[in-house]
Structure 1
């Protein structure tokens, strides 16, 4: 009851308590975890906008595994400013505390009040580097859908609507163009 949830300095000092609470929730939730989020992966050849031969796959995250992403990222946050993953864990623990104390969750209010002066979008955005400890299976190392099957992933007519300045979009535009060139020249 005495937590100063909106006070970044206070919460940095108590971040380990928040992380410990989230860890306990994740561990106790393992027996009842459920599918939560789908992550699509795609690969290009290095930084080039050319699809890799082993290109596409998807992974399902359970709710407890997804929480673990935030826990691991929050562990690396020990100085100001509070990171997005740490702030997200604070939101989760505050919302669960409110529910246990008052029987109601006002997550939108929690999210809008606890910002620590930063943007609150992209709270669940993780780079490939932070995901890699979790995605070490064979299907991550060798995605199951090859580059030549890109049209099974994205409708070719939709590729024209993509923004080629993004790496995947550019690779799909290149693959479609190259595919058209090959079929014309044959």
Structure 2
């Protein structure tokens, strides 16, 4: 779900956010101790387009684009970007270039994903059940870094995402625009394009770990103050959280 935040005084659009409701724990952490619970995070290709656009916005002038182009040009010329064998030998430099760009922008990073979490315990909604995390554009970028675990023959979804971003930024500095649909379609590298990448809870825990992940701040007895006017009776329980609410009428007693 997408959300646009607006200045209520001026009706000015401030920022667009993608909202990802996630269950805590996920399948990979449900047998772990409670302080090791975490959520799966799935990132779709349109999010990568929004991420690239958020970076492009920070290079509005010709002089700034020249600086961005200089970083991108540290990657040797690749003639056939859709061929794994041509891209992989230069992947380390692609990763390094994107990393250098991110380091130059860390003080200008902006929110990109809002991640509400809902927590279950012993098959029921936990007493401390709701909280929200916000990921910046550069934080989502950081999810893709592999800590040197790179194949010699295949391009992973994480690597592919950084390549997509590189190509979007390169087209931006060369042509002032980029066709994200074409870039994603032509550079699948034998991976399906239904998602850019996903991170299971065991991997996302190191990024999310904090007191609020173990004990979310909103208690379940506050849900009746969030869903008002009998709204719970209008839910169609097609999703897990909706089903939990519909099957927990005691929350509204």
TM-score by shorter chain over 0.5: yes
Shift of 1:76: 4.0
Contact 1:23 1:71 in 2 (8 A): no
Q: For structure 2, which runs of at least 5 residues remain unmatched after alignment?
A: 1-76
Q: TM-score, normalised on structure 2? A: 0.60
Query: As a proportion of its length, which structure holds more strand?
Result: 2
CA change 1:120–1:40 in 2 (3 A) is same
Query: As a proportion of its length, which structure holds more helix?
Result: 1
* 1:19 counterpart = 2:92: no
Contact 1:45 1:52 in 2 (8 A): yes
Report the counterpart of residue 174 of structure 1 in structure 2. 247
Shift of 1:124: 4.8
Contact 2:78 2:86 in 1 (8 A): no
Report the counterpart of residue 196 of structure 2 in structure 1. 123
Shift of 1:75: 4.8
1:121 partner SS: coil
Aligned length: 174
Q: How does 1:33-72 map to 2 (within 5 A)?
A: 33-45=109-121, 48=123, 50-72=124-146
CA change 1:81–1:153 in 2 (3 A) is farther
Q: For structure 1, which runs of at least 5 residues remain unmatched after alignment?
A: none
1:143 partner SS: coil
**Structure 1 ranges of 4+ moved more than 6 A:** none
Deviation sequence 1:61-83 (CA, Å, 0-9, x none): 111111111224x8545255432
- Quote the RMSD (CA, aligned, Å): 2.6
2:112 partner SS: strand
Contact 2:128 2:216 in 1 (8 A): yes
Deviation sequence 1:39-75 (CA, Å, 0-9, x none): 11111115x2x11111111111111111111224x85
CA change 1:7–1:146 in 2 (3 A) is same
Deviation sequence 1:130-168 (CA, Å, 0-9, x none): 321111222222211112333426941343x1226x4x3
* 1:162 counterpart = 2:240: no
- Structure 1 CA distance for aligned equivalents of residues 244 and 188 of structure 2: 36
Report the counterpart of residue 105 of structure 1 in structure 2. 178
- Structure 1 CA distance for aligned equivalents of residues 121 and 189 of structure 2: 39
Shift of 1:92: 0.3
